[in-house]
Amino acid sequence: MRTPLAALFVISALAFLRSSPCASSQAGGAAPLSDRTQACLSCHTIYTQGIVADWEQSRHARSSVRQALSRPEKERRVSVQAPEEAGVAYPDVAVGCAECHLLDPKLHEDTFSHNGYEVHVVVSPPDCAHCHPVEQEQYLAANKMSRAHGNLAANPVYRDLAEAVAGVRRAGNGDLRSSGGREAAPYESCFACHGTRVAVLGTRKIDARTESVEVPDLSGWPNTGAGRVNPDGSLGACSACHPRHCFSMAAAREPRTCARCHEGPDVPAWNVYENSKHGVLSSASREASAMDVVPWKLGRDFRAPTCAVCHASLIVDTEGAVVLKRTHGFGDRLWVRLFGLVYSHPQPLEPDTTRIRNATGQPLPVTLQGEPAAAFLIPPEEQSRRRRSMMTLCEGCHGTQWTTLHFGQFAATLENVDTAVRQGTALMQRAWAEGWAAPESLFDEALERLWTEQWLLCANGIRYTSAMAGAPDHAAFRGGWWGLSGSLVRLREAVEHGRRTAR
């Protein structure tokens, strides 16, 4: 047990390098800090040490854009080609406080004067896009997450659901509406993931440790939701997945990073993954995985896929050939949308889903009878293309037949689940027609809540379990089929006896 202390030091340092989600193993001389960043650090190494320490261990703290571009293209973490043309003003310094928080001050409504600098609080995707333009572009063009705020807030049906969650009408004796204003209830529930609209209300004085500072007064802040509407009008928060202030790729590859939002019972992706074969092997081989390597090598750098492997990362084979290109438009590898509204359906054509109208005029991708709003959804050939790209990845570790039969089972399960949901919906429609519930809001009465839980909670558990060959109990007793079929029994009984409540 006794070992030379020098060795202990070496190991500890190495262990830190290897395992930290921030750690960089990048060789080469560190890039110099800009004067402006040094000015920031002169105070903030005292006042917000944790932020600085986090950043110090980041790649940003050591590498300039120019250095990043000196690597072979496949190994790069920046996508800008010509920094100067793209407006990178300081391509030869490390990426410090100033390089992000002082960018384009006029574009940011939350810019304030601070010790002689025009600083903005909320660093936004356009800021990051100075060096990472392709990522922002893909995110906006092909990732529904970028529109997560508006897709919820500007769709009257979904907004009604959000109201039913956090501020149901006619709930108690009084009218329990969600408190509005800057601290509304959905800010920590729905919009914690969907992203708030961060608005500048004016300025306020806050008592920092040594002085009173006048700063922008923000509503909807703090928030790191993936569809955040920023004070510069942009959409998204890169820090949702690349947490401040190390912004590492390794952190974004951690399944738990996705779990913060993709958690049960409504989106049980994490829960289903956690105890799936993939999840078990991934956590068991955690220490043996190279979470910070680019490109990511199948069968070498990881034993079993994490979320990022299947949905986002650049994956190469053991010879270095590209299996799948990196994408920040996570829809690129998805053909069917599991998250049924109320049925599974082909992925929307565009990330902005507010324009969708189904045949009955509702802003939903499927009618309640099950007819897809095909004009707004990807066509069959695009579905095939995307399914094929996912299967290519599966076939890195599974035989073609295994993969083919798995996806066949998956398609059959979606049909089975949608059939069950259709029965519940038919019962609900009868309840509306016969007056046992009022269709003005679809979510605020007892029967409607029972129906909502069928397609939103139970059905989603089954769908995700099937998609990822996940932990089987999410299809069995943990919600799943047991919950769905039991709920159908109760809903039917209520409707048949003309009751406003299920028992």
> Which is closer to its own copies, CB of 379 or CB of 399?
399
CB of 188 to its own copies, least distance (A): 5
> Which is closer to its own copies, CB of 32 or CB of 486?
486
CB of 94 to its own copies, least distance (A): 15
Q: Is the dihedral of CA 156, 159, 164, 167 positive or negative?
A: negative
> Which is closer to its own copies, CB of 31 or CB of 475?
475
Q: Dihedral of the CA atoms 490, 493, 496, 502 (nearest 10)?
A: -50
> Which is closer to its own copies, CB of 352 or CB of 473?
473
Bridge partners (DSSP) of residue 462 are: none
Query: What is the token pair recorded at 115?
Result: 């010790």
Question: 112: how many CB neighbours lie within 10 A of its CB?
Answer: 17
CB of 306 to its own copies, least distance (A): 11
Q: How far is CA 286 from CA 19, 281, 469, in A?
A: 10, 8, 20
Query: What is the token pair recorded at 87?
Result: 């407006």
> Which is closer to its own copies, CB of 192 or CB of 374?
192
CB of 337 to its own copies, least distance (A): 18
Q: If 0-12 CB within 10 Å is exposed, 13-18 middle and 19+ buried, where does residue 404 land?
A: middle
**Residues 157, 160, 162, CA angle at the centre, nearest 5°?**
115
> Which is closer to its own copies, CB of 352 or CB of 395?
395
Round to whole Å and give the CA distance between 145 and 190: 13
**What is the identity of the amino acid at 256?**
R
> Which is closer to its own copies, CB of 131 or CB of 237?
237
CB of 350 to its own copies, least distance (A): 25
Bridge partners (DSSP) of residue 215 are: 204
> Which is closer to its own copies, CB of 374 or CB of 441?
441
Query: What is the token pair recorded at 97?
Result: 């406080």
H and E: helices and strands count for the chain: 20, 9
Query: What is the token pair recorded at 312?
Result: 């986002």
Helices 49-56, 35-47: axis angle to 10 degrees equals 130
> Which is closer to its own copies, CB of 139 or CB of 191?
191
Classify residue 50 by its DSSP letter: H
**445: Cβ contacts below 8 Å, ≥ 6 apart:** 437, 438, 500
CB of 70 to its own copies, least distance (A): 18
> Which is closer to its own copies, CB of 89 or CB of 284?
284
CB of 185 to its own copies, least distance (A): 5
Query: What is the token pair recorded at 340?
Result: 């049924």
CB of 291 to its own copies, least distance (A): 8
> Which is closer to its own copies, CB of 367 or CB of 404?
404
Q: Is the dihedral of CA 212, 216, 217, 222 positive or negative?
A: negative
CB of 168 to its own copies, least distance (A): 4
Query: What is the token pair recorded at 214?
Result: 């006048």
Round to whole Å and give the CA distance between 304 and 454: 32
CB of 35 to its own copies, least distance (A): 22
3-state secondary structure of 120: strand
Query: What is the token pair recorded at 268?
Result: 């049980």
Instruction: Give the residue carrying structure tokens 């969708």.
Output: 356
3-class SS string, 380-419? HHHHHHHHHHHHHHHCCCCCHHHHHHHHHHHHHHHHHHHH
Q: Most distant CA pair in the chain: distance in Å?
A: 81
Answer whether 68's CB lies under 8 Å from 26's CB.
no
CB of 124 to its own copies, least distance (A): 16
CB of 375 to its own copies, least distance (A): 30
> Which is closer to its own copies, CB of 373 or CB of 431?
431
